[in-house]
C-alpha cells in the first residue's frame, strides 16, 4: 500500500497490489505470446483464440492498476481497477458515508472454504457496500488508513469474524 498526495487537486491516492510480481507474470505471458507469434504457427482458429487470450491476460497483468482516491475538497471517494481499459469503478459521496467496517463476507469463500473478510462502506441510508476484500489483519490496517483519510469512524465487526 503506497500513499501519495497531490497538492494541486487535494487528492490522496492509495495504490494497492504486488506490482513487481504481477508485472513479471504478465511479462512471461507476453513473452510467450510474442514468441509464438514470431516462431510458432498461429494459423488455426483455435490456436489464434488461445494466443489472443494469453496476450490479453498478459497485457492486463502488466498494465493493471488498483487504487483508492479520496478528495476531501470535492467530497468524493473512489476505488478504481483499470488496465488499458477501466475494469471497475466505485464512487461514493463522503457526506453520505457514515463509516467503514471490517466483517466477514456473507457469500464469498476462499480456496480453503473459509469466509473472506471485506471492508464495507456504511452509508447514512443503512446500506452496506463492499469495498475491499482479503486478509482480515491487512484489511484492518488499510481500513483504518482509509477511514482516517475520509475522517470517518472505523469498526471491526467481531461477531461476524
Distance (Å, whole) CA 77 – CA 63: 23
Please state the separation of Cα 30 from the chain's center in Å: 22
Q: Which three cell numbers stand for residue 156?
A: 471491526
Burial of 121 (0-12, 13-18, 19+ CB in 10 A): buried
pLDDT at 154 (0 to 100): 95
pLDDT at 110 (0 to 100): 55
Q: Answer for the pair 42, 48: CB distance below 8 angstroms, yes or no.
A: yes
Task: Mark out the alpha helices in 40-151 (DSSP H runs).
Answer: 45-63, 136-150
Structure-model confidence comparison of residues 41 and 72, the more confident one? 72
Average pLDDT, whole number, for the chain? 84
pLDDT at 41 (0 to 100): 65
Distance (Å, whole) CA 122 – CA 52: 41
Confidence of residue 87 (pLDDT cuts 50, 70, 90): confident
Stated length of the chain: 161
pLDDT at 86 (0 to 100): 85
Whether 112 shows a pLDDT value over 60: the answer reads no
Whether 45 shows a pLDDT value over 90: the answer reads no
Q: Answer for the pair 131, 69: CB distance below 8 angstroms, yes or no.
A: no
Distance (Å, whole) CA 21 – CA 35: 21
Of 7-21, 82-96, 110-124, which has the strongest mean pLDDT? 82-96
pLDDT at 153 (0 to 100): 95
Report yes or no on whether pTM surpasses 0.95. no
Amino acid at each position: 500500500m503506497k500513499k501519495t498526495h497531490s497538492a494541486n487537486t487535494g487528492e490522496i491516492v492509495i495504490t494497492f497490489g504486488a506490482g513487481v510480481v504481477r508485472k513479471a507474470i504478465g511479462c512471461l505471458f507476453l513473452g510467450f505470446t510474442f514468441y509464438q507469434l514470431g516462431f510458432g504457427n498461429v494459423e488455426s482458429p483455435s490456436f489464434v483464440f488461445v494466443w489472443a487470450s494469453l496476450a490479453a491476460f498478459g497485457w492486463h497483468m502488466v498494465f493493471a492498476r488498483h487504487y483508492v482516491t479520496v478528495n476531501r475538497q470535492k467530497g468524493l471517494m473512489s476505488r478504481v481497477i483499470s488496465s488499458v481499459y477501466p475494469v471497475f469503478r466505485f464512487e461514493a459521496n463522503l457526506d453520505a458515508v457514515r463509516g467503514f467496517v471490517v466483517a466477514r463476507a456473507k457469500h464469498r469463500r476462499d480456496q480453503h472454504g473459509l469466509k473472506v473478510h471485506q471492508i464495507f462502506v456504511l452509508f447514512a441510508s443503512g446500506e452496506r457496500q463492499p469495498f475491499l476484500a482479503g486478509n482480515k489483519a491487512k484489511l484492518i490496517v488499510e481500513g483504518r488508513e482509509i477511514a482516517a483519510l475520509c475522517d470517518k469512524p472505523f469498526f471491526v465487526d467481531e461477531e461476524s469474524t
